Amino acid sequence: MKYSYKFKRQCVELYRQGKWPETPKDITEKNFHNTIRVWVRIEDKCGPEALRHKNQRKTWSAEEKYELVAKVLAGASNKETAISAGINAGLLYQWVRCYKIKG
């Protein structure tokens, strides 16, 4: 489900006040709360603009992918590395897995 930038900002602000917004339909409360925690971490690392939807998909070069994969292989957290790069942790996990298999 895609959420607007305004909605994300409101959720982050409520979280910082120790409150939770109402959980939207078709999502569990636990998953929604986890999503808000990720938004807070993204905002802390990259600023509030990182919560905006990207209108274009970035094409990652092999060198950029390797740099992120190397951080994870060196012991950095997959999730933290992904958040700091502004990508989904699952995508970074796939890159690491592919690198381990194919080199």
Domains of the chain, by residue range, sit at 5-51, 62-102
Alpha-carbon distances of 37 from 9, 26, 58, rounded to whole Å = 12, 19, 24
What pLDDT does residue 82 have? 87
- Calpha distance 72→13 (Å, rounded): 30
Q: How many beta carbons lie within 10 A of that of residue 22, not counting itself?
A: 9
Q: Which tens digit of pLDDT belongs to each residue from 40-68? A: 988 888 888 888 876 557 788 899 999 99
Q: At what angle do helices 62-73 and 89-102 cross, to 10 degrees?
A: 90
Q: Which tens digit of pLDDT belongs to each residue from 71-92? A: 999 999 998 888 888 788 899 9
What pLDDT does residue 55 have? 55
What's this model's pTM, rounded to 2 decimal places?
A: 0.63
Res 1 pLDDT > 80:
no
Alpha helices in 1-103 (DSSP H): 5-16, 29-46, 62-73, 78-85, 89-102
Mean pLDDT of 17-37: 93
For the ranges 5-14, 24-33, 40-49, the lowest mean pLDDT is seen at 40-49
Instruction: For residue 37, name the pLDDT band (cuts at 50, 70, 90).
Output: very high
